[in-house]
């Protein structure tokens, strides 16, 4: 399934003949969220494509609520140097690490158990959080402390009716 301009997600049991510009992620979701088929995931991937389009190096990504690791994987395939995925679900961390290994990126991406508000010591140029509105609002103050100056905070998963409330919480953070 094409989920962005260049990113294509392929389950391990499906064949696919990629075009030269395609970046293929082999993904088996298991019990974790993030197959790439959900619109909020593809919106995050499209945002990463735009942010990383200039090809500058030295970019680090922090994927909060990593699930399958798809956003960290997509970010590194699109040009980020490294990524850290964190999740409070141990099954998600296991699935993310399996997917990272399956895509040959274990030397550049790590997934670990953790909560952004405590015990995570990582500064990133891009923080991506595909989470529900209440979680985005709760994590935004901590997110600000994990972003490098001039960094990008990419969020999705927010219902239209909560847009202004979430936007205000992000601005205040």
Mean pLDDT of 3-27: 90
Q: Is the pLDDT of residue 35 over 60?
A: no
For residues 73 and 3, is the Cβ–Cβ distance under 8 A? no
For residue 120, count other CB atoms closer than 10 A to its CB. 16
Judged by average pLDDT, the poorest of 2-11, 63-72, 98-107 is 2-11
Residue 29: its pLDDT value, please?
59
What is the pLDDT, as a whole number, of residue 99? 94
pLDDT attached to residue 111: 97
CA–CA gap between residue 76 and residue 105 (Å, rounded) = 8
d(CA 81, CA 13): 29
16 close to 8: Cβ distance less than 8 angstroms: yes
**What per-residue confidence (pLDDT) applies to 32?**
46
Q: Judge contact between 76 and 105, C-beta under 8 A.
A: yes
Across residues 143-166, what is the average pLDDT? 89
pLDDT of residue 59: 97
What is the average per-residue pLDDT within 146-166? 89
For residue 79, pLDDT beyond 50: yes
Global pTM? Answer: 0.91
For the stretch 50-60, pLDDT in tens is 999 988 889 99
Mean of per-residue pLDDT scores for the chain:
90
Predicted local confidence at residue 157, as pLDDT: 79
pLDDT at 31 over 70: no
d(CA 155, CA 26): 23
The per-residue pLDDT for range 120-134, each reduced to its tens digit, is 899 999 999 998 888
């Amino acid at each position: 399934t094409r989920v962005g301009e260049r990113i294509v997600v392929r389950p391990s049991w499906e064949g696919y003949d990629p075009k030269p510009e395609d970046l293929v992620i082999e993904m088996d979701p298991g019990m974790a969220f993030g197959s790439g088929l959900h619109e909020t995931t593809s919106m995050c991937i499209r945002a990463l494509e735009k942010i990383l389009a200039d090809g500058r190096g030295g970019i680090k990504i922090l994927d909060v609520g990593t699930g399958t690791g798809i956003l960290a994987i997509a970010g590194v395939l699109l040009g980020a140097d490294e990524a850290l995925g964190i999740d409070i679900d141990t099954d998600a961390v296991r699935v993310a690490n399996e997917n990272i290994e399956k895509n040959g990126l274990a030397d550049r991406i790590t997934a670990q158990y953790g909560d952004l508000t405590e015990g995570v010591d990582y500064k990133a140029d891009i923080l991506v959080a595909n989470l529900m509105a209440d979680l985005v609002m709760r994590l935004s103050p901590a997110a600000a402390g994990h972003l490098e100056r001039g960094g990008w905070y990419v969020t999705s998963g927010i219902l239209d009716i909560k847009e202004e409330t979430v936007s205000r919480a992000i601005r205040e953070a």
